[in-house]
Amino acid sequence: MEAVEATARQPRSDSVRNRTRILEAAEDVFGCEGLSCPVDTIAERAGVGVGTIYRHFPTKEALFEAIVLRHFERLVELSRAAGGDPDPCEALFGILTELAEQAVAKRDLADALTGAGIDVKAAAGEMKQELQDALEHLLVRAQRDGSVRGDVSITDLLGLVFGACMSAERFGEGAGSPARMLAIVCDGLRRAD
């Protein structure tokens, strides 16, 4: 009987697929057209009806929050998976590269959410802390391995990564790409021999 109840609570595969398509479409549409675009545009891009969107997300705010959470969930999963990498330094730097790429790629969406008064930090909630914890685990492993400086905290690390991304964006192409800026940061994080 318990197995039947557990199975009954699992979302149908088409429901999960529709939710994923809605989130992907909404992320693209909001990033390109802003948050004021009609839900019809998202439904069309996702290949679902408007009613399907409202079944999953009763308000646009719920959709915004789901996009933010999805983004953080992916980063947490990648960071945790990297925790088992045999090379702690390369695992850490690989995740930092992913963070930088995502920060740049999702900049339009983040700006649109912030411009609409959505508190991205609040929407991320516990996921933000989970991401920070997973990154700190990677940092500590790399420090214990002796490949990363021991005097760097997780706060320092996050400040350096996001500062490099913002600097590259602010000063344009002449300042170097975010990837180049991050490479310089990573070189500075390596323990000198």
Per-residue model confidence as pLDDT tens digits over 122-137: 767 788 889 999 999 9
Higher-pLDDT residue of 47 and 12 is 47
Contact 56, 78 (CB under 8 A): no
Position 28 scores a pLDDT of: 87
Per-residue confidence (pLDDT) for residue 22, from 0 to 100: 94
Is the pLDDT confidence value at 139 over 90? yes
Residues 6+ away with beta carbon under 8 Å from 39: 50, 53, 54, 60
Instruction: Express each pLDDT in 113-122 by its tens digit.
Output: 666 677 767 7
d(CA 141, CA 136): 9
The fraction of the chain above a pLDDT of 70, given in percent, is 81
pLDDT at 172: 55
| Number of residues in the chain | 193
AA identity, residue 54: Y
Rounded to two decimals, the pTM is 0.76
Is the pLDDT assigned to residue 8 strictly greater than 70?
no
Within the chain, residue ranges assigned H as helices are 2-9, 13-33, 39-46, 50-56, 60-82, 88-105, 107-115, 120-145, 154-171, 178-189
pLDDT given at position 5: 52
Which pLDDT belongs to residue 168? Answer: 59
* DSSP label at residue 83: T
Q: Is the pLDDT of residue 143 over 70?
A: yes
What torsion, rounded to 10 degrees, do the Cα atoms 73, 74, 79, 83 define?
90
Domains of the chain, CATH where assigned: 2-189 (1.10.357.10)
Alpha-carbon dihedral 43, 44, 48, 49, rounded to 10 degrees: 70
For 45, the token pair is 């891009």
- Would you state the pLDDT for residue 67? 85
70/47 Cα distance (integer angstroms): 20
Report pLDDT for 164: 78
**52-102 tens-digit pLDDT:** 999 999 988 788 888 888 888 999 999 999 998 999 999 999 999 888 888
Residue 146's φ and ψ, nearest 5 degrees, are 90, 5
Q: What average pLDDT score do residues 31-60 get? A: 90
Q: Contact at 8 Å (CB) between 138 and 95?
A: yes
Q: Which of 103, 178, 105, 99 is nearest to 139 (CA)?
A: 99
